[in-house]
Structure 1
Amino acid sequence: MPAKYSHVKKRSASGLLKKEKNSPNGHHIIKETYHPRPLNPHIDRSLNQAMSAVSQLEHAIARLFLLRYEQDIARLYSTRLYSVALVHLPTLVMRCVTLGGPGWLAFNHDSEEIKDFFRAAISMDMRQAGERVATKSVLWSYTALRHFAMSNNVSICNKLGLHSLRLLPYYPALKAHLDTLEAMGPPIFTKPPYLGSLQEGQEALEDACELKFGWMHELAPGHPEWEGDWKAKIRHGYERLSQTLWRVAREFDVRGYGLVLREKLTTKWCDCGCSTDHLGEVCERTVREDEEENGVRPGKQREWDGRGSGILGWETEEEEDIWEVDLDFGGLDPEECGGPDSEMTIGEMMEWRYLKAEREKERGNAAFRIGDYLVAIQLYESAHEIESEVPHYQLNLAAAHLKLNNWIEAEKACTKALQQHRSSKGLYRRARARKMLGRPDEAIQDLRAVLRLQPNNLEALAELASLISMADDKNLSGTTTNPSSSKSPPSMKIEPNAETLRRLGIPKPKPIKQPPFTKLRSDDRKLKIVLLSPADSSGTGRKFSGLNTSSLNEPQLPPPKASRHGKEKAGAIRTRKTKELEKMRAECTNYPSWERYVVKKD
């Protein structure tokens, strides 16, 4: 949202003791202040009721915008994930099978190495959700609210747009719609039904493998590992890798992102009593210009149904992938912001924030390694303050608090991180804090959640076995044990087999369906994915796009079409902040991206 609507109305503090400089004795002089007489509850009851009704209306509108915004993130990022599976996963498949053979991904698609890479890239995407989705979502939701008003013959100002007070007689209908949204449950990522299969990516991948590894003619035999029906192995690995992508994405909770808009909707707009006044002034002209240019599209007739707010239409191919739009438009106006934002585009500003936060985190890691945990805490908190949309700063903060036995602070940091991403690290560290806070049942619950994500996590297995053993001893003896003073039973080697998991209360994992072909020695090779820094342009730091991977001698395929929304920046002036950004790019060791990485043998 434009910066001029991000203000908070300041309230003057009255009735304070003030020291008069010219007072002969230097004593405090109580300034005369005006204290309004409280309203007579019998005379002004109707006024109080009206103010309460307006407050309820504003809170309902703000809540409507927030819930629809969450639905928009889930739907639009699901479109993004489909694009990733279609455009970027074939590149990952090609790099993995080049080193591991055609069947490698069929047996290793669910490895922690690959899932950690997906988590890092998705986390970087989700931190952009506020910038990419918020403005569009607010415009879409305002349009839906506007159509609701028009259907009830509510007048709308040509310049200032819809005034929220005009909707007061229709509050019951708004509240009913809000109740419907509340009952829908948290939004999740799922493949949009109107998008097709991944056949296009599969065909491009098979053609690339055919050119590099297949039998071209009698004088050019293929690689020995690629004999037989290698296409079936490639196809199977690609499909399994796509399924892993969606599973990892569902670890993220859209309700933990877009914190700027969330703060405005929950603490500022609804309390100032004029939320739609702010929105109408910004959105009304945009809506009217769009209708004059394109007419009223049929998709808008289905806006007020609670499924989301996409103006471009539901379940049609017109739904745009806003993550493909370059964030090269200007940030805040220089008059409104004296910081780095005034000299950068939105994309540069986000990169600057991330790199600056990463620099603070690395300094915190250095302090952590030498045991200076208080300094590490300060640096991790600084990193989170700079970039609050990245959960791992809170996980680092929790680790430092655990070293200092700050159990309450460690639990709070983990909970904050888990509101964005349900990670095994966050659950395990919170379990340790809860154990020491004397809440073993909650710790056991967290550890079981860890093992559902990582059945082979030996630390979580040992900790869970220890807690369950302590709980059994407590039940037998009938005495209460203080976890901070008790010693854990001697560690024993625990195998993460099905019987052990069952005994510890972990649901039996679903059997993994084995590929319909024999596992080869090459399928056991260990590969690792190395992230690259933004400034890395050496032979190992080439920026890849699509299947354009010349460093691996792969055939050149056409890169994905450029987004029609993208714009090129020309003649950018090198300012002090842009120079600082370039310096931080050179210092950054990695930058999670679907493109900036290489696959190597471990």
Structure 2
Amino acid sequence: MPAKYSHVKKRPPPKKPRSDGAASSTHQHHQDHQHPSPRTDKSISHAMSAVSKLERTIARILLIRFEQDMARLFSTHLYCVALLHLPTFVLRCVTIGGPSWVAANADSDEIKDFFRTTIAMDMRQAGERVATKSVLWTYTALRHFAKSNGIPICQTRGLHSARLLPHYDALKAHLESLETRHSPAFAKPPHLGPLTEGVRTLTEACEKSSRSQDWQYKVREGYDRVCSTLWRVAREFDVRGYGLVLRDKLTSKWCDCGCSTDHLSEVCEKTVRLEEEESGVRSGKEREWDGRGSGVGGWGTEEEEDMWTVEFDFIGTEHELHTKHADGGTHDCCDMTVTELMEWRYLRAEREKEQGNLAFKKGDYEEAIQRYKDAYAVEPEMPHYQLNLAAAYLKVNNFVEAEKACDISLTQHKSVKAHWRRAQARKAQGQTEDALRDLRAVLRLQPSNSEALTEICLLCPSEAARIEQPVASGSSSSAPPPVQGSTWIPAPKVPKPLPFARGVLDDRKLKISTIPITVEIPEDLSIFAADTASPSKTKATATANADALKTSSGRMMKQTFQYPSWERYMVSKAD
């Protein structure tokens, strides 16, 4: 990495006094180091403080921009899901449940749970994909800002953050403007227009099967409603809980050593200059210093918005791109793509989780806890590992750690299980009001949850008298009766009425399940390096894993995994 801030140098260690005639002068020089000039020491401290503030301001800009890019780009991805995959989903459901089944059950737990598991898988990939692109975009913006203010940029090492010190006030003002905006959330991108193609796909499918106009109308109504459900479920996820590797570097590792652009520029500068040579400087990057032209709404170009169809790579330094042989030579990394590395990482984490589940069923909760911790260490952007960990902690009455595990999970996804298990942990610690708040959150997400309703009545006996009618047990799309004047029981949201009469088949229970995948994996999956969750090490890790595979016994075994996706699922009648 480039040298850091030459104007802030450490004082050299004092030399030992010599025994010859020069000892007297050396001793005086030694005293000068022990008692430096107060004016000099104050200027050094001031410079270090100014640089530290600058570094943290730039790091914060990078993080907020990443969160905004996550919301914008993943919203675009969800739009593509609604356009390409939901028509097929609707057709599969109505084939078994009847033409109006989706319209009548668009807000059911069955559909929402399928959306939750699949979106969680996509979010896991989005954190790394968007972080890679967002950092490059923000660096490009900072670089353009620097050039417009006459700041020189090294052709090989790029922009050094210390050169931005004279413009700290402008950067701080931009950060403050970013922080005053609303937290980024998922919403249908307005510039992408209506889902006309999805409706057309459904209409053509209905016409091919000679369905009536009434049948087609009900199917289209179901499609509109299930698209709305997709956005509502997505808003349960919090972009601030993703991009953990980037977040860790920007909030602790890099800032503490003086990072910001210095750690990024050597890689980003090469990419930016290459793009400018091939395509020229885009006008969109010149309209505003923040590099986004029209703002968070984005440039809206296919190339920059579709993060799921382009090849990408993690930001790494040059020494990470090569690995030394035992004979001292070097070789390039294996041909494993980042996407393949991510899949292997998920399989390894799932393997640890399954071992934890086996231990949990046997009552070996300590072993289960360790397995769930290992799974989370490998794949920290999947919230359900912390949920499993919380369940195991509850079994051993470690309620403090159970609450912490739920806290971590809730930073990524506001799920029913996380709120429920945190309520149990808080109740055991005597935190009644906090437990009630979690139970209330459960009912907001799942109004039909009878366990949460019963628990509220146990914690607040006064609420039990307000309920005139018992709620049916089990999960269903029907909500409990409204409770007038209730303090802790939220009033259920009244569903939008159907524009047609509800059919007999609309009450049919359907099961939406992921089709498992079976892959061959090494018998000892631990040969894979444990730090695959770190993008800064993925190149070296890929080579280490490839070498480990070559030197292993080669014995493989078949393993079945659940891999939620928009393509691999089945719809069937519930037993």
TM-score calculated relative to the size of structure 2: 0.80
The corresponding residue for 1:202 is 199
TM-superposed deviation, 1:435: 1.5
The corresponding residue for 2:16 is none
Task: Say whether 1:497 aligns with 2:483.
Answer: no
SS across alignment from 2:397: coil
Specify the code of the residue in structure 1 equivalent to 2:397. N
Match of 1:335 among 323, 327, 350: 323
* Contact map agreement 2:345 2:379 (CA 8 A) in 1: yes
Rounded Cα–Cα distance in structure 1 between residues aligned with 2:190 and 2:164: 35
Rounded Cα–Cα distance in structure 2 between residues aligned with 1:584 and 1:362: 18
Task: Say whether 1:304 aligns with 2:296.
Answer: no
Structure 1 586/212 Cα, relative in aligned 2: closer, same or farther at 3 Å? farther
Match of 1:137 among 118, 134, 137: 134
The equivalences for 1:220-259 within 5 A come to 227=212, 229-259=214-244
The corresponding residue for 1:593 is 565
Instruction: Give deviations 1:163-203, integer Å, cap 9, x for gaps.
Output: 11111011011111111111213211111111011111111
Specify the code of the residue in structure 2 equivalent to 1:63. R
* Contact map agreement 2:142 2:290 (CA 8 A) in 1: no
Rounded Cα–Cα distance in structure 1 between residues aligned with 2:289 and 2:213: 55
The equivalences for 1:74-473 within 5 A come to 74-214=71-211, 227=212, 229-305=214-290, 314-315=299-300, 319-325=304-310, 333=321, 335=323, 344-469=336-461
* Contact map agreement 1:86 1:200 (CA 8 A) in 2: yes
TM-superposed deviation, 1:255: 0.7
* Contact map agreement 2:87 2:198 (CA 8 A) in 1: yes
Rounded Cα–Cα distance in structure 2 between residues aligned with 1:426 and 1:302: 44
Structure 1 203/68 Cα, relative in aligned 2: closer, same or farther at 3 Å? same
Instruction: Give deviations 1:478-520, integer Å, cap 9, x for gaps.
Output: xxxxxxxxxxxxxx95576344374243443332112111111
The corresponding residue for 1:9 is none
Structure 1 372/313 Cα, relative in aligned 2: closer, same or farther at 3 Å? closer
Give percent identity, aligned residues only.
59
TM-superposed deviation, 1:455: 1.0
The equivalences for 1:433-582 within 5 A come to 433-469=425-461, 493=470, 497-500=480-483, 502-535=485-518, 577=549
TM-superposed deviation, 1:588: 2.3
Instruction: Give deviations 1:433-468, integer Å, cap 9, x for gaps.
Output: 112222211111111111111111111111112222
Specify the code of the residue in structure 2 equivalent to 1:366. L
Rounded Cα–Cα distance in structure 1 between residues aligned with 2:305 and 2:402: 40
* Contact map agreement 1:364 1:379 (CA 8 A) in 2: yes
TM-superposed deviation, 1:373: 1.0
Q: Report how many residues are paired.
A: 500
TM-superposed deviation, 1:313: 5.6
Specify the code of the residue in structure 2 equivalent to 1:159. T
Rounded Cα–Cα distance in structure 2 between residues aligned with 1:463 and 1:168: 57
* Contact map agreement 1:193 1:315 (CA 8 A) in 2: no
Specify the code of the residue in structure 1 equivalent to 2:434. E
* Contact map agreement 1:194 1:317 (CA 8 A) in 2: no
Structure 1 313/73 Cα, relative in aligned 2: closer, same or farther at 3 Å? closer
* Contact map agreement 2:141 2:291 (CA 8 A) in 1: no
SS across alignment from 1:598: strand
Q: Which runs of 4 or more aligned residues in structure 1 lie more than 6 Å from their structure 2 counterparts after TM superposition?
A: 306-312, 327-332, 573-576, 582-585
Structure 1 274/357 Cα, relative in aligned 2: closer, same or farther at 3 Å? closer
* Contact map agreement 1:104 1:522 (CA 8 A) in 2: yes
* Contact map agreement 1:334 1:342 (CA 8 A) in 2: no
TM-superposed deviation, 1:66: 0.9
* Contact map agreement 1:140 1:309 (CA 8 A) in 2: no
TM-superposed deviation, 1:83: 0.2
TM-superposed deviation, 1:586: 4.1
Rounded Cα–Cα distance in structure 1 between residues aligned with 2:562 and 2:334: 26
SS across alignment from 2:511: strand
Specify the code of the residue in structure 2 equivalent to 1:517. F
Rounded Cα–Cα distance in structure 1 between residues aligned with 2:359 and 2:517: 25
TM-superposed deviation, 1:360: 1.1
Structure 1 73/578 Cα, relative in aligned 2: closer, same or farther at 3 Å? farther
Q: Give the stretch that moved more between structures: 227-236 or 65-74.
A: 227-236
Specify the code of the residue in structure 2 equivalent to 1:287. V
SS across alignment from 2:191: coil
* Contact map agreement 2:83 2:198 (CA 8 A) in 1: yes
Where does the alignment leave 5 or more consecutive residues of structure 2 unmatched?
Answer: 3-32, 327-332, 473-478, 521-544
Rounded Cα–Cα distance in structure 1 between residues aligned with 2:415 and 2:561: 23
Rounded Cα–Cα distance in structure 1 between residues aligned with 2:573 and 2:129: 36
TM-score calculated relative to the size of structure 1: 0.77
Q: Give the stretch that moved more between structures: 381-390 or 313-322.
A: 313-322
TM-superposed deviation, 1:245: 0.4
Specify the code of the residue in structure 1 equivalent to 2:193. G
Instruction: Give deviations 1:58-84, integer Å, cap 9, x for gaps.
Output: 111111111101111111111100000
Rounded Cα–Cα distance in structure 2 between residues aligned with 1:348 and 1:38: 58
Specify the code of the residue in structure 2 equivalent to 1:99. I
Where does the alignment leave 5 or more consecutive residues of structure 1 unmatched?
Answer: 6-35, 215-226, 473-491, 538-572
SS across alignment from 2:150: coil
Structure 1 577/420 Cα, relative in aligned 2: closer, same or farther at 3 Å? farther
Rounded Cα–Cα distance in structure 1 between residues aligned with 2:58 and 2:145: 12
Rounded Cα–Cα distance in structure 2 between residues aligned with 1:96 and 1:382: 38
Rounded Cα–Cα distance in structure 2 between residues aligned with 1:408 and 1:39: 50
Instruction: Give deviations 1:514-568, integer Å, cap 9, x for gaps.
Output: 211111122222111121223489xxxxxxxxxxxxxxxxxxxxxxxxxxxxxxx
Q: Give the stretch that moved more between structures: 298-307 or 402-411.
A: 298-307
